[in-house]
Every structure is written in C-alpha cells, then in structure tokens.
Chain A
Amino acid sequence: MEIKIALAGNPNSGKTTLFNTLTGSRQRVGNWPGVTVEKKEGTVKNDHDLLIQDLPGIYSLSPYSLEEVVSRTYLVHERPDVILNIVDATNIERNLYLTTQLLELDIPVIVALNMMDVVEDQIDPKKLSEQLHVPVVEISALKNKGIDELLVQIKKVSTKKGQQFLPFTEDVEASVSFVEKLLPHLECPRWYAIKVLERDERVDEEMNFSHDIKKEISCQIDHLEEIYDDDTESLITNERYAQIAQIIAKAVKKSKGKHALTLSDKIDKVVTNRILALPIFILIMYCVYTIAMGSTPISIGTMGTGWANDVLFGEWIPGAVDSMIGALHLNPILGSLIQDGIVAGVGATLGFVPQILVLFIFLSILEDCGYMARVAFIMDRLFRKFGLSGKSFIPLLVATGCGVPGIMASRTIEQDRDRKMTIMTTGFIPCGAKMPIIGLFAGAIFGNSSLVATSAFVIGIAAVIITGIMLKKFKAFAGEPAPFVMELPVYHMPSIHNVLHSTWERGWSFIKRAGTLILLSSIVLWFLQSFGFVNGAFTLVEDNNHSLLASIGNAVSWIFYPLGWVGDMAWKATVATFTGLIAKEEVVNTFGVLYNHAGELSEAGDEIWALVAADFSAVTAYSFMIFNLLCAPCFAAMGAIKREMNNPKWTLLSIGYMCGFAYVCAMIVYQIGGLLLGEVSFNVFTIIAIVLLAGMIYLLFRKGYQPESEAISTRELKFRTSKS
C-alpha cells in the first residue's frame, strides 16, 4: 500500500541531504502551483510504496511567507499519512518550534534527529520521544546512518491514527477548546482553532464565519489579550517556546559554557571580520570567477567552453552532420536547416555548458558549506539601498560571464520581491557575448579606447541601480515588508553528493532549454534569414539583403528613428538587433554579413571597421550599443527569466521593461548627447527625451509607496480597538 510522507524541517537542517539519501535519483522536480517555490517529490530507493513529498525549508507555519503557506496548505488539505520532521540536534530549541506546530495537524509525526554525531550524548532521544509523544530516530543524513531504522519506524507509524499534541497553559488551552467547539467538522480542528485565535487572515477567509460566531471568537481573543497583555499571535508563540523549554530541561543536558566559541564561530571571526570580511569575499569571488569564466591557464570553465565551441560544435558535429547530409542525399534546404539553423543555434548555447557547470559546482559548494548566508550578511547593507538583497551580488557577478546562470543563481534569494528584482536587473550586466559588440564599436569608432568597455560596465551597473531605486518605490515591489531575518548556519563540509546533485539539476535545466526554446527560435530565425522575395517570387535567398529578416528589419526600422538609427545603417542596425536575440555575439556576425564581408570575421569584426565607421557617428554608436546592452537579452536568458519567474505576466513585464528602459536610455543619449555635440538639431524627439529624462529623475527621487507603517497602523488599530 502506498504511504504518503511529507518531509518537513527548518532550512539548513539537512533536509535536502536526507531527501536525496532517501530517494536517490527517483525525484521529480517542479513548482508548487502558481508560485516560484520549488516542489520535489520522490519514492524511497528500495521501497516504491513510500512516496516522499519534500516541503520547502520553513521555520513556522505562519501565513506570511510563500514557503510556509505552500507547506501548510499541503499538510492541511492533502493530508499526508505521515509527517517526517527532520530536527537538527545542534540547534534543537528553534527546530522544535516547527515540531510543536506539526503535532497539531492530527497526522502521525516522526522525528528524525539529525547530526547527533556532533552533539554526542547531550540529547536523550528516549526522553525526547516521551516528551513529544512521537518516535525519535537518530540519523546522520550526511553519513547515511539510521536510515533503515527510520524507514521501519515510518511504516509502523503510518498505521497510527491521529497524533497527540502538546497542551498550552490553562487559560490558552480553555480558549482553544472553546473555539474548537465553534468550528464546523474539520480534519484538524485544533490547528484551525489556534489559527483562528491568532487572527490568521487566510484561515478566517477559508472559514467564513457567521456574524455571531465571529463575535464569540473575538470575545475569546479579547479575553486572552487582556490576561496576557499581548496580542494572541505573540502569546501563542511564547507558549510554544515555553513548551520547548520544558522539553529541553528534561531531554537535553547543557554541557558547554555559554557562548563558547565553536569551530564555526572561529571561522566567522575571520570570515565576517570587520576589516577582513570584504577582502576575503572579493578573493573568493575572484577565484570562482577566474576558474569558471576567466582566461587564465587555470580557467577550466573557459577552456571547456572554448573546446565545445571550436572543436565540438565547430568541427566534429558540423563535420558529422555534413557527411550525414551527404550520405543521405538530403535536400540542400533541409541540410541548411540542420546545419545553419539547428546545429549553429543550439551549439552556440550548448557551448556554454562547461562554464556553467564549473560555475554551479562552486556556487553549490559555497551554498552547501554556509558561506552564501555570510555573503548576504556582508553585502546586505549595500544592495538593500537599491531594492536588492545581499544575495543579489552572486547573480550579478555571474552575469558578467553569462546572464543565463546569473538569472538561475537568483533562486537562492528567499524574499520573493528581491528575487524578482534581481531577475529583472541581471540581464543589464554586460555578459561575455556582448563584449564583441563593444569591441566592434570601440575599434571602429573610438580608436580602440578601453574607456568604451569600462563605460559599458558602468552603464550596466547604473542600469541595475537606477532600476532598483525606481522599481522599489512601486507598490508591486514595495509590497509586503520582507524582514531580513536570516539564520547564519553553522559551517560544515559540503557533501559531494549534494553539490553534484544541485549542479546537475541546474545544468540539466539549461541543457533542456537549449533543446526546446532555443531549438525552436533557431529554426524560426533560420527560416527568416534564408527565405525572401526576389523579383516578386518567394524563394531561398543567396543574398541576405533580400531575406525576410531584412524585409522585417526595413519595415520596422522606423521604430528606432528617435534613437538616431537613420539612413543606410537603420535597417542593418535593426536586423543586427534582431539576430542578437539568438545570441548577442550574432550582432557582430550579422554586421559582417550585411556589410557584404566575405569569409571569416574576427571576433570584434576588425575587417568591417572602416565600413561601420562610415555609417555610425560616436553618438549613434553609443545609442546602438546602449540599446543592445540593455534590451531584451538572448532567447536563452529570456527562457531563464521565464523559468525563474514562473509567471507569464512577470516574464513579459521583465522583458518589456528591459526593452523599454533600453529604448529610453538610448534615446536620451542620442537626442541630448547629439544636441550637446551639435550632431543633432533640436526636434520633437529632443523634447520627448528631455521629458523622459525628467520623468526618470522624478521616479528616482520621489517618495515611494510605504506599506510598512500603514500595515502596522491598521493592525495596531485593530489590536487597540479590540482591547478597548
């Protein structure tokens, strides 16, 4: 018979390790419906009747965070057969806080006491089991100990009906049973009764009480608040920690002196030290970056990617495909579709896989060992100023190599709005593929000045900061106040299995995208580039200038008129921008084709510099560069945005915002910059540009929407009126 097990526990309690140990590779990863919280399910290795539902790592079942709401909705409505609660023995007091809440759901609970090897005999599992009225199994998720015993106990417990709870003090207990009697027939009345007493808005909505019952409940709440001189939500939290204190007193021996320095504390003394923290942080990031994406003899990632681009997708696969096309006598159009469309397009993306894998290995190690939380601790102050979180640093850094893993790295940011903002701004950072665009214009127009590349970074970072400051003042981002209350977990050796597992998971999701979205868009762009109307007939075109893509470029190039893309270069610039959507390095290649350059083009397109210089002025070059650096990223990155946002509205909003922001910036630079340099005469777009600039400055400096004080005042008011 199938047994549904919900795996619940605090973040950093070893939950992921336990889940991986129990299920091995039999996992399904997805999202909880409608939210960006990851959902993992799996069956136990040697017993496929045991279905494990991994709940997000949570500290409580409050109604205030997505993870908590997802978890409690699952527990209350899906009613698993057993709740497997993993408790970190090294941090038992706070871990038991969630346990006290899980016991109220009337579902059999079993406690897996993890990391007992670290605390040794400080905790007495037998006494703990007596106190909690649940089986307690000592395990070590990392060392794979106690797992068999855990499975035996799970099966035993699954036949049990219901679960004994821990009673509160008399007054509170009386109120709980009073409210319980008012409730309709429910599967876990005690849980509902407590939530009702806590004024949980979600439960209130679900219950939809009649006026009379509401009155009785509010009477009870007032009564309790009168006695304890605190709101019910807080007094129940106090009650829980009081219960835990009693349990601890009986089951835990306190051996160490207070605030004695553990190894972890000693590491932190150096790593988050006032003076050393930033240099150490910079050094670690520099090493990660150099090994994954740099261009030194130890840059394994870059070497792998170079090999993939030049050898695997440059010679081997095209060669093999060529001989296959020859051997099968395929139609040349079909051959071109496979070779120029699919292999070239998908290959361009898959070439990044080695860099991405190396990068993810390092990020997984930093996450698993506990350093990532310190990064947030060190950087929070800086990033909070522009609506981001301390953890946004990693995605932005990674994006200087490639935006796709950058966007994917935003997954470690817990706060929803911080994560959304990070996803939206990560694409602004000039990635490796945008470098040739900068190289082309720096060489063609600015005499190879290194200031151009520097300015590109300054523009990218400024775009992130400006966006952050502007957007955080909007209601959608100001939203609910997300307190930065973060645990700094104890450092530990990263588990090789965990690191490889999470690296593979992210890498695979990247590869899958190349096989779907990028494959499709490559085919579409190949079609647009290869076909066109010549002398009124629709046919395969030799000359790119006659392709459908060129026609489309011509037809829509007027859009970019205010950006100064006029005359002969207008459609070329437009088409190059479009092909840039496949991959940004395509922009330079496209210029090569459009300027009729025959043969190989160097990366920065030295061969066409003279032609580009004839068509672009300094101002139009900047307008083009800024638009291409900031506008919608390549398809791969858009796919990453779609996946991480997991919401069509937010995906479109992000991409739309990036394009709009790029357009406005390019226009301001061309119109106002051109006017100052005497290159552009005063015209209607100059006025629009000035208005847009003023609007941007207003958005930067206006007083934003402030929910915090408002939210508190209404709640406070409610509390006060109910008391008076």
Chain B
Amino acid sequence: MRTLNQCKPNETVQVTKINGSGAVKRRIMDMGVTKGVEIFVRKIAPLGDPMELNIRGYELSLRKADAAIIEVR
C-alpha cells in the first residue's frame, strides 16, 4: 500500500482510499480528492513540503502530512 506523500514528481496515480475523518478528510474530499480520481504529482515545494498536485484540471497544494491519509495505486 502506497500513500500519496510517497509519490514522486511527474507520477500519475489513482486514489484508492482516504483514511481519517473529520475536518481534514472532508476538506481534502471537498477539493475533489475522491475514490478513483486521478492525481498527477506536479512538483514538491523548494523546501521539500508541500506538494503540488494536478487534479480535476486544477492545481492543488497539499502538505505531505495531510497527503499521508490518501492511499493510491
């Protein structure tokens, strides 16, 4: 099992599961990170965190700590 924070730039992955609950999970899902959606890892910020993702046609920035609850394939 791999989580999104382990992905490298220029990788395209598919979300299989989102762990956790409450505000963080809801916020991430509200932004369109749902089961089955495709995510393209655009880059990592110069200081190593957060990540920049391309999802549903827009750019989303997510901290690695929050990306860790997203399981991908």
The secondary structure that dominates the A interface is: helix
**Contact with A487, one of B37, B48, B59 (Cβ below 8 angstroms):** B59
What A residues does B14 contact at CB under 8 A? none
Bound-state CA distance A719–B21 (Å) is 9
Bound-state CA distance A485–B20 (Å) is 15
Bound-state CA distance A272–B50 (Å) is 12
A61 nearest in chain B by CB position: B30
CB distance from A283 to the nearest CB of B (A): 14
Does A380 contact B43, Cβ atoms closer than 8 Å? no
What B residues does A31 contact at CB under 8 A? none
0 or 1 for each of B37-71: is its CB under 8 Å from A? (1 = yes): 10010111111111010101111111100100000
For the complex, count residues of A whose C-beta is within 8 A of B: 54
Which size class do B's interface residues fall under?
35 or more
Q: Which of A73-103 contact B (CB under 8 A)?
A: 90-94, 97
Does A484 contact B61, Cβ atoms closer than 8 Å? yes
Does B40 contact A259, Cβ atoms closer than 8 Å? yes
B63 nearest in chain A by CB position: A484
Asked if A185 is at the interface (CB within 8 A of a chain B CB), the reply is no
Does B52 contact A272, Cβ atoms closer than 8 Å? yes
Bound-state CA distance A258–B24 (Å) is 28
CB distance from A345 to the nearest CB of B (A): 44
Bound-state CA distance A380–B72 (Å) is 25
CB distance from A648 to the nearest CB of B (A): 27
What B residues does A480 contact at CB under 8 A? 23
B40 nearest in chain A by CB position: A259
Does A381 contact B47, Cβ atoms closer than 8 Å? yes
CB distance from B66 to the nearest CB of A (A): 5
B43 nearest in chain A by CB position: A272
What A residues does B3 contact at CB under 8 A? none
Asked if B35 is at the interface (CB within 8 A of a chain A CB), the reply is yes
Bound-state CA distance A121–B25 (Å) is 35
A488 nearest in chain B by CB position: B59
**Contact with B56, one of A64, A93, A274 (Cβ below 8 angstroms):** A93
Asked if A299 is at the interface (CB within 8 A of a chain B CB), the reply is no
Does B61 contact A377, Cβ atoms closer than 8 Å? yes
What A residues does B30 contact at CB under 8 A? 59-60, 62, 97, 237
Asked if B34 is at the interface (CB within 8 A of a chain A CB), the reply is yes
Known: A381-B45, A381-B48, A382-B47. Is A93-B63 also a contact (CB below 8 A)? no
Bound-state CA distance A708–B21 (Å) is 10
Does A94 contact B26, Cβ atoms closer than 8 Å? no
Does A486 contact B61, Cβ atoms closer than 8 Å? yes
Known: A484-B50, A485-B62, A485-B66. Is A94-B23 also a contact (CB below 8 A)? no
Asked if A315 is at the interface (CB within 8 A of a chain B CB), the reply is no
Bound-state CA distance A274–B51 (Å) is 12
**Contact with B60, one of A65, A380, A485 (Cβ below 8 angstroms):** A485
Asked if B13 is at the interface (CB within 8 A of a chain A CB), the reply is no
A60 nearest in chain B by CB position: B30
Known: A234-B18, A715-B21. Is A483-B28 also a contact (CB below 8 A)? yes
B28, B30, B35 pick with most chain A CB within 10 angstroms: B30
**Contact with A716, one of B21, B42, B47 (Cβ below 8 angstroms):** B21
**Contact with A377, one of B21, B24, B26, B45 (Cβ below 8 angstroms):** B45
CB distance from A429 to the nearest CB of B (A): 22
**Contact with A481, one of B23, B44, B48, B56 (Cβ below 8 angstroms):** B23
What B residues does A379 contact at CB under 8 A? 47
Does B25 contact A485, Cβ atoms closer than 8 Å? no
* Chain B contact residues, CB within 8 Å of chain A: 12, 18, 20-32, 34-35, 37, 40, 42-50, 52, 54, 56-63, 66
Between-chain CB contacts (< 8 Å), 24 pairs: A60-B30, A62-B26, A64-B23, A64-B27, A91-B56, A91-B58, A92-B57, A94-B57, A94-B58, A231-B21, A234-B25, A234-B26, A238-B34, A265-B42, A274-B46, A373-B61, A381-B48, A480-B23, A481-B24, A485-B60, A487-B60, A488-B60, A711-B23, A712-B21
* Chain A contact residues, CB within 8 Å of chain B: 59-60, 62, 64-65, 90-94, 97, 230-231, 233-234, 237-238, 241, 258-259, 265, 268, 272-275, 277-278, 373, 376-382, 384, 480-490, 708, 711-712, 715-716, 719
With contacts A91-B56, A483-B63, A485-B61 known, what are 5 further pairs, Cβ within 8 A?
Answer: A94-B31, A233-B21, A237-B34, A487-B60, A712-B21
